[in-house]
Structure 1
């Protein structure tokens, strides 16, 4: 096994200089730093992280605490974003999936402390308030897709309000004015934010939104709600003054709107324009015609969380900030201009 002394001998410098390069000490000149790094790469030297942890009381490991993100097909993009950013920094990820169990979560915080994890990210499957209790963990901590009630941690959130605005603006620019909505459950924070953004788009266009065209795509106690988007869409499309376009709470609901349109002998987009939210490929890219939608920027949110913790020493003693990430429009074939 190649040692630090082997690198020093090969580079013609002292072991202390190699140690300084490994630990990014700014006291090393650029020329010497480059020389040592080349020898590290040539000899395939792996720094002793355990020893570094003993010296610094921390590690290059970042802990990711999730509810069910790590096992959910689409929101796992948050994990991929975190991994991608950490890989560029030469850091390691430790994932802890709690399945929503607070006792399991408490155990994982103890694990993070015992492993001297250098920073933590807390992520949830959907945009919501989350009571994070880090159990004595005093290293940098950022929340993704969620926020603490007391706003004591930096948060990275999708800009749901702007996403709702984008959905409505796209249809309005295509000439639609009679626009229906099949929304997510009203208990979900994103539902209200997107509705507010949609109303702003209507106001900017000098148009009025007909509230009778708003239907809930999910009903019953949350989070055990029943999805009723198909029935909701059938009611909208049975009206004599049916909408010419429908905004969907997510891409999964859009699938049911497509089915309801077919039941009524309507085609998308010739008779009905449909726009989704999420850009979940299993729906948006497989539906025919392919679904125009607004994307949830989960990968970018994961990357941003790593960017934030890189500049922190701890979560205490500084004002927490909310960082909103744009939800971009993805135009495909499910919307058309109104003749």
Structure 2
């Protein structure tokens, strides 16, 4: 294994000079820097980051603690976005997946302290409040896709209210005036926020909100789990004599059920019924025929922005530390919504 002394001997400089080149220290002049860097590449020298970490108060590693994000296909982009943000800062990531176990979470805080991580991005699978208590961790913590009810940590969350507004506004602009809603579970924060969004859009468009046209597509069980009931909810809406011409879906999984219910009743999407989803899960939106128009959850941007905010919290990046960043949820137009004549 090539050591820093081997590189120094080959370059005719001291090991300290090699270390300065590795750490991009401006004290090394350009000619020497280029010569040493070339030898580092040629000899395939890899710096001993473990040794460096022992000499520093904290490392170049940032922790990502999640409840289930790392194993959830449609929110794994938070991991990718966090990684991309860290790459821009020449940092690496240590992932800890708690599976929602408080005991495991406390163990991972201990692991992060032991590895002297420079800070932690704490991410959740869905938009919800969290209470971290007072973890024994001295560096910065930023919440991603979740928030502290006590505002004890900065957070980066999707603009769910804006997303609900976008869903309704798109259908209204297409000429729809009777719009049904098959929502997520009513207990979710996202459901409340998106509901505020589409009601605002209805009011701006001169439409009355009809609570009879909004039905939950998921029911929360006493044990905290959920049952998908979107198919039956859609049948109830579509069997009405004054059935809606369009349906807003709480997520893309619900949209699949809407398509199925419409087909069971001999209705065609989008000729007889326009459908708009939420999440923009590619495995669903691009597989359904016609392909599903959806509002995207900006998970990648949430992860990337969380890293930037973490740098500000730690004083490593210039810029204000804000209590919460709302990330826009963009509309992705495909073929499931049609213009009414």
Same fold (TM over 0.5): yes
Structure 1 residue 331 displacement after superposition: 0.9
**CA distance in 2: counterparts of 1:36 and 1:276, whole angstroms:** 55
Are the aligned partners of 1:141 and 1:314 in contact in 2 as well (CA < 8 Å)? no
Listed one character per residue, the Cα deviations across residues 75-102 of structure 1 (whole Å, up to 9, x for unaligned) are 1221122223334444222111111110
Structure 1 spans left out of the alignment, 5+ residues: none
CA RMSD, 1 decimal: 2.2
Partner of 2:339: 337
Give the structure 2 partner of residue 146 of structure 1.
Answer: 146
1:261 aligns with 2:270: no
Q: How does 1:165-180 map to 2 (within 5 A)?
A: 165-180=165-180
Structure 2 CA distance for partners of 1:264 and 1:132, relative to 1, 3 Å: same
CA offset digits 1:12-65 (Å, max 9, x no partner): 544333323333434445665455434433332211212211221211222111
CA pair 313-35 structure 1, distance change in 2 beyond 3 A: farther
1:294, 1:327 within 8 Å by CA — same for their partners in 2?
yes
Q: Which residue of 2 aligns with 1:190?
A: 190
Q: Output the CA distance in 2 between the equivalents of 1:189 and 1:30.
A: 55
Per the alignment, residue 292 of structure 2 pairs with 291
1:195-274 counterparts in 2 under 5 A? 195-221=195-221, 223-274=224-275
Where do residues 1-339 of structure 1 align in structure 2 (5 Å cutoff)?
A: 1-11=1-11, 13-29=13-29, 32-133=32-133, 135-221=135-221, 223-313=224-314, 320-339=322-341
Q: Distance in 2 between matches of 1:64 and 1:313?
A: 16
SS class of match (1:128) = strand
- In structure 2, the CA distance between the partners of 1:25 and 1:296, relative to structure 1 (3 Å rule), is same
SS in 1 for 2:109: helix
Q: Report how many aligned residue pairs link the two structures.
A: 337
Report the Cα distance in structure 2 between the residues aligned to 1:327 and 1:203, rounded to whole angstroms. 21
Distance of aligned partners of 1:285 and 1:138 in 2 relative to their CA distance in 1, 3 Å threshold: same
**1:195 & 1:51 partners in 2: Cα distance?**
53
Quote the Cα distance in structure 1 between the aligned partners of 2:84 and 2:146: 21
Per-residue CA deviations over 1:117-137 (Å, capped at 9, x if unaligned) read: 222111110000011246311
- Give the Cα–Cα distance (whole angstroms) in 2 for the partners of residues 28 and 141 of structure 1: 35
Q: 1:237 to 1:323 in 2, by over 3 A?
A: same
Farther-moved stretch of structure 1 (51-60 vs 219-228): 219-228
CA distance in 2, matches of 1:177, 1:220: 30
Distance, in Å, in 1 between the alignment partners of 2:88 and 2:309 is 15
Q: Which runs of 4+ in 1 moved over 6 A?
A: none
Give, in angstroms, the shift of residue 206 of structure 1.
Answer: 2.9
Point out the more displaced range, 70-79 or 319-328. Answer: 319-328
Task: Give a deviation string over 1:245-282, Cα, whole Å, max 9, x none.
Answer: 00000000011111111122110000000000001122
